[in-house]
């Protein structure tokens, strides 16, 4: 039996279905959410004046975490060295991360590092939600979806926490809106496969 999990966006370090601990408001991948629902970008990796990755695709309700690696940086919303006023937070050895939830409508949110605003820039693209269905045609599962940013990653796991998930590649690379899981594998008796389609960035 193939079971559909809630879909969401973002790549490594990203997350989906929110499962908060009782009374907890923290957002920690793998701790208080079922699978990563936080897209992480690093500031100053290798001493460079870059965010890595600089472009992030998420769905409404997802979070982005900017994480300090080296140097003296910050993350400021806006473009062309002009703040839009949505956020402005330091990224230093004493303030090593900043996390923001993007709960509004889809749209593009440019950002930059104020001390290096002409070269250290990035964009958060909030896409439309990814809506997925799974049809069980054992031993094949047929996935189809719409929404998102046009590039996708597919994960399959036999654990709703997506521990040790298998990454499946849509036909034609990362683009597409359907996928046939024809690996021939079946979940163990009494268990289920969980599928997750995310934006790729």
CATH code at position 36: 2.60.40.420
The number of domains in the chain is 2
C-alpha closest to that of 36 among 4, 59, 3, 10: 10
Cα–Cα dist 14/125, whole Å = 14
- Structure confidence at residue 7 (pLDDT): 38
Average pLDDT over residues 169-184: 86
Cα–Cα dist 52/38, whole Å = 14
DSSP 46: G
Rounded to 10 degrees, the C-alpha dihedral 79/83/85/88 comes to 100
Average pLDDT over residues 90-109: 95
- Examine residue 4 and state whether it is found in any structural domain, yes or no: no
pLDDT at 31 over 80: no
- Examine residue 1 and state whether it is found in any structural domain, yes or no: no
- Structure confidence at residue 125 (pLDDT): 97
Query: Is the Cβ–Cβ distance between 193 and 156 less than 8 Å?
Result: yes
Print the SS3 string covering 1-43: CEEECCCCCCCCCCCCCCCCCCCCCCCCECCCECCCCEEEEEE
pLDDT at 8 over 70: no
Structural domain for 186, as ranges: 131-199
Average pLDDT over residues 151-161: 87
138 and 74 in one domain? no
195 and 149 in one domain? yes
Of 42-51, 70-79, 119-128, 157-166, which range is least confident?
157-166
- Structure confidence at residue 131 (pLDDT): 93
**pLDDT classification of 33: cutoffs 50, 70, 90:** low
Q: Is the pTM of this model over 0.85?
A: no
- Examine residue 193 and state whether it is found in any structural domain, yes or no: yes
pLDDT at 4 over 60: no
In the listed set 126, 142, 159, which residue is the last one of a domain according to the structure?
Answer: 126
Average pLDDT over residues 85-106: 95
Cα–Cα dist 60/107, whole Å = 9
Between 149 and 16, the higher pLDDT residue = 149
**pLDDT classification of 5: cutoffs 50, 70, 90:** very low
C-alpha closest to that of 170 among 138, 148, 139, 192: 148
- Structure confidence at residue 160 (pLDDT): 79
């Amino acid at each position: 039996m193939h079971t559909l999990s809630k879909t969401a966006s973002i790549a490594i370090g990203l997350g989906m279905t929110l499962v908060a601990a009782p009374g907890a408001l923290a957002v920690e991948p793998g701790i208080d959410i079922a699978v990563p629902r936080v897209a992480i970008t690093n500031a100053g990796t290798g001493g460079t004046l870059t965010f890595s990755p600089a472009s992030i695709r998420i769905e409404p309700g997802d979070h982005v975490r900017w994480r300090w690696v080296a140097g003296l940086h910050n993350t400021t919303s806006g473009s062309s060295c002009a703040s839009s006023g949505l956020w402005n937070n330091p990224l230093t050895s004493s303030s090593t991360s900043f996390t923001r939830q993007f709960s509004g409508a889809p749209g593009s949110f440019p950002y930059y590092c104020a001390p290096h605003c002409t070269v250290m820039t990035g964009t958060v693209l909030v896409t439309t939600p990814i809506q997925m269905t799974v049809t069980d045609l054992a031993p094949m599962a047929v996935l189809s979806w719409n929404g998102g940013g046009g590039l996708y990653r597919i994960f399959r796991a036999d654990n709703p926490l997506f521990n040790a998930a298998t990454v499946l590649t849509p036909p034609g690379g990362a683009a597409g809106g359907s996928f046939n899981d024809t690996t021939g594998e079946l979940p163990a008796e009494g268990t289920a496969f969980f599928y997750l389609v995310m934006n790729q960035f």
